Homo-oligomer: A and B are copies of this chain.
Amino acid sequence: MTTVQHPETDLPVLKKLRARGIWEGRQRTRLTVRQFADFATGEPAAIGGDDSAPTPMELVLAALAGCLAVVIETVATERGITVRSLELTSEATIDTRGFAGVPGVRPHFASADTRVEINLASTAAHLADLRVEVERRCPALNLFRDAGVDVRVTWVAR
């Protein structure tokens, strides 16, 4: 992961990401990102796999939860707000006809709902402000949104 810095703020500041995959057969792919080589994607038996790892789209959905957490911590730190606890549950639907090849059906997510249960050492007004800023800046959430996925985030103060 390399960040190319530009002094002018109107120019892109491009971070480069890289991932490698080696297919192991039976729908399993061993994945490597930088020094991290201990994860994989797989598929259940219905798709010809051995169900030994999350599916690729389950991995994307899990990354959505992780990404929201990163942006929550980042914005909270900027605001001087302490996050005491944070748990996220992301649920999504995929219309499998797209993967099966039916024309006109998009093969990725139809919907993605995330429940954010958060405990802040702060007021409800701070949560409302945090929420707007996080949803505006979260990379994964906006990937889903820009792709036309019906995206919802439900915030619950704990």
A66 touches B142 (CB 8 A): no
B146 touches A64 (CB 8 A): no
A19-B58, A54-B34 known; A14+B93 contact, CB < 8 A = yes
A17 touches B94 (CB 8 A): yes
Residues of B with C-beta under 8 A to A148? 146
CA of A6 to CA of B71 in the docked complex: distance in angstroms? 39
Residues of B with C-beta under 8 A to A31? 62, 65-66
Give the interface size class of chain A.
35 or more
Give per-residue flags for A1-18: 1 if the beta carbon is below 8 A from chain B beta carbons, else 0: 101000001001111111
A interface vs B, CB < 8 Å? 1, 3, 9, 12-23, 25, 27, 29, 31-34, 36, 39-41, 43-44, 46-48, 53-74, 77, 83, 85-102, 105-110, 133, 136-140, 142-144, 146-149
